[in-house]
Amino acid sequence: MISKAWITQQIPHLNYDNAGRFGELVPIATVADEVGSTGAAEKFDLKIFAFLDKYDPDTDHIVLSGDPVIIAAIMMAVGEEYAGTNKTISLLKWDHKFQKYRQITLKAQ
């Protein structure tokens, strides 16, 4: 199975090529997704459910990008989905000093 690097919110002017070394780049949300607007929450929930259906914590990574509310909503959903499993969740955070994505891991407890 090919690893995926799930982008929490893909921003058009950002270059995610470096995150691609962790797997196939797949956006969860785009800049068109606004969780605060009317009706948007339901559409965004469907995107999160679709992501959770395909996400594999054993092989995949989550690229932290975009609106902090969107990042928080996705991470809350992942935490709820894998609570008590002791799975390792791999996050990719942009390192400004070294100009590349750095892996951070968390345990779902």
What share of the chain in percent tops pLDDT 70? Answer: 94
Tell me how far apart the alpha carbons of residues 62 and 28 are, in angstroms, rounded to a whole number: 10
Q: Which pairs from 82-86 meet CB under 8 Å and 24+ separation?
A: 82/57, 82/108, 83/108, 83/109, 84/108, 84/109
Of 6-10, 28-32, 80-84, the range with the lowest mean pLDDT is 28-32
Note the pLDDT of residue 44. 82
For residue 93, list its beta bridge partners: 102
* Region 78-91 average pLDDT: 96
For residue 90, list its beta bridge partners: 61, 105
Tell me how far apart the alpha carbons of residues 19 and 69 are, in angstroms, rounded to a whole number: 21
User: If 0-12 CB within 10 Å is exposed, 13-18 middle and 19+ buried, where does residue 14 land?
Assistant: middle
Q: Which tens digit of pLDDT belongs to each residue from 19-51? A: 999 999 999 999 887 776 666 667 788 899 999
Delimit the domains of the chain by residue range.
Answer: 4-107
Global pTM?
0.93
Tell me how far apart the alpha carbons of residues 55 and 25 are, in angstroms, rounded to a whole number: 12
